[in-house]
Amino acid sequence: MQEAFVTLADIKAAHAAIKPHVLRTPTMRSDSLSEHCGVPVHLKLEHRQTTRAFKLRGATNALRQLSEADKQRGVAAASTGNHGRALAYAASLQGIRAIICMSSLVPANKVNEIRKLGADVRIIGNSQDDAQDEVNRLVVENGLVMVPPFDHPAIIAGQGTIGLEIVDDVPDVETVLVPLSGGGLIAGIAAAIKALKPKVRIIGLSMESGAAMHASLRAGHPVNVEEQASLADSLGGGIGLNNSLTFRMVRDLVDEIVLLTEDEIAAGIFHAYAKEREIIEGAAAVGIAALLAGKITLNGPVVALFSGRNIDMEQHRRIMAAHYSEAVPCPA
Ligand SMILES: *Cc1c(COP(=O)(O)O)cnc(C)c1O
């Protein structure tokens, strides 16, 4: 391993600090997947985290590291997704002002959900870039602190706390499956687990269409990819051409990246519901999708991380309907 960017000590400190503010989510053995794979398969049920995704861990840890003066001025981000929700919620708990900037294209229900969490929501322009411009302006003109979604040491350390819990719950784990987009989640988890158990394999999972980290590793430097619609919408977006941490951490710590088709992701969402009785979003389904598709060779116990459950319920209903109608009818 090369220089440690975010260390086990950072992650342990984050764990102690965020504990009172986040849920300690359980790990559950999956009988159906264990049978399918021939090795014990466990699911880390982080989709049950408050705000319905793991991002609360990083956001809570990032806020803890702000100075009192920064806390007075507040924080800003341009996310309509799980990071924006988490930051809005974590900031409101601590009485810190949060401004979440979104474009006018964001559906009203998403805007309202984040507003309900106590954030000051600003609708700016017609694209995510316009919303980000407003965040940059708030930083320069009003002194707000931007809290980025993944490429930040406090965010990585916060997400890495999941790795500590995985090792506690499944001490003989050999392979860990982690959804991968900007890489804050997997970088933190890999830093924690490789420090404790260097032989554990850490595998990143992304969708086939628009996997920015995968394309960047291939190129040897951060590159832009065309963003495409996917069931795993939380895995969309780039890693930033000026990426300073997660690109190198993923390159140095992650053993393999596996890409999933949309059909495979849908099958994962369906399996989670029908067999595990869990509602998860597409981004969270990539680990079990890879297991079901036989895309990963396994020798021992595996943990797959369910990262979130912010799926549009109408979309969920359609996926269930399609898969149930394909199933062989059962005699009464
Ligand atoms: C953000 C997110 C991811 C990916 O995390 P990165 O740190 O960007 O790799 C995976 N699943 C869900 C549900 C997310 O919200």
Read off the pLDDT of residues 33-86 as tens digits, 9 standing for 90 and up: 999 999 999 999 999 999 999 999 999 999 999 999 999 999 999 987 899 999
Q: What percent of the chain has pLDDT over 70?
A: 97
Q: Which residue has the least CA distance to atom 13 on ligand 1? A: 308
- Backbone angle region of 118, left / alpha / beta, with phi > 0 → left and psi within -120 to 50 → alpha: left
The answer on pLDDT for 328 being more than 80 is: no
Atom from ligand 1 closest to the CA of residue 308: 13
Q: Is 169 exposed, middle or buried (0-12, 13-18, 19+ CB in 10 A)?
A: middle
**CA-CA distance, 90 to 257, in Å (whole number)?**
31
Buried b (16+ CB within 10 A) or exposed e, 171-207: eebbbbbbbbbbbbbbbbbbbbbbbbbeebbbbbbbb
Please say if the pLDDT value at position 228 is more than 90: no
Decide if pLDDT at 323 tops 70.
yes
Spell out the residues 6+ positions from residue 168 whose beta carbon is closer than 8 angstroms to its own. none
Average pLDDT on 293-312 reads 96
From the CA of 52, how far away is ligand 1's center (Å)?
12
Ligand 1 contact, 184 CB (< 6 A)? yes
Evaluate if residue 296 carries a pLDDT over 60.
Answer: yes
Is the distance from the beta carbon of residue 185 to the nearest atom of ligand 1 less than 6 Å? yes
- Sign of the Cα pseudo-torsion (260, 264, 265, 271, in order): negative
pLDDT average, residue stretch 224-231: 89
Q: What's the gap in Å between 150 CA and the centre of ligand 1?
A: 9
Q: Measured in angstroms, how far is the CA atom of residue 30 from the centroid of ligand 1?
A: 22
pLDDT at residue 2 is higher than 60: no
Distance separating alpha carbons of residues 24 and 66, to the nearest angstrom: 24
Mean pLDDT score across all residues of the chain: 94
Separation between Cα atoms, residue 68 and residue 247, nearest integer Å = 31
144-155, pLDDT tens digit by residue? 999 999 999 999
Do the first three CATH levels of 8-53+152-322 and 55-146 match, i.e. the same topology?
Answer: yes
User: What ligand 1 atom has the least distance to the C-alpha of 186?
Assistant: 9
What fold does the segment set 55-146 form as a domain?
A: Rossmann fold (3.40.50)
Tell me: pLDDT of 332 over 70. no
- Rounded to the nearest angstrom, the distance between the alpha carbon of 81 and the centre of ligand 1 is 10
* CA–centroid distance for 329 within its chain: 36
* Atom number in ligand 1 closest to CA 150: 7
The alpha carbon of 329 and the centre of ligand 1 are apart by a number of angstroms equal to 36
Ligand 1 geometric centre to CA of 253 (Å): 17
pLDDT of residue 329: 64
Specify the CATH class of 8-53+152-322 in words: alpha beta
What would the DSSP string read from start to end of 84-143? HHHHHHHHHHTT--EEEEE-TTS-HHHHHHHHHTT-EEEE-SSSHHHHHHHHHHHHHHH-
Atom 2 of ligand 1, nearest CA residue: 234
Q: Is the pLDDT of residue 5 over 90?
A: no
> Ligand 1, from 265, 307, 312: best to mutate by most atoms within 8 Å of Cβ?
307
**272 Cα–ligand 1 center, Å:** 18
Domain residue spans in the chain?
8-53+152-322, 55-146
Encoding tokens for residue 274?
């029908």
- The 10 Å CB-count burial string (b at 16+, else e) for 41-50 is bbbbbbbebb
pLDDT classification of 248: cutoffs 50, 70, 90: very high
Confidence of residue 126 (pLDDT cuts 50, 70, 90): confident
Confidence (pLDDT) at 50? 96
Residue that has been written with the tokens 């924690």 in this structure: 192
The verdict on the CB of residue 180 being under 6 Å from ligand 1 is yes
Which residue puts its alpha carbon closest to atom 4 of ligand 1?
181
Q: How far is the CA of 50 from the centre of ligand 1 (A)?
A: 15
Q: Is pTM beyond 0.75 here?
A: yes
Q: Are strands 27-29 and 41-45 parallel, antiparallel or unpaired?
A: antiparallel
- Cα–Cα distance measured from residue 215 to residue 324, given in angstroms and rounded to the nearest whole number: 35
Asked if residue 265 has its Cβ within 6 Å of ligand 1, the reply is: no
Of 235, 288, 311, the one to substitute when testing ligand 1's pocket (max ligand atoms within 8 A of C-beta) is 235
Report pLDDT for 1. 45
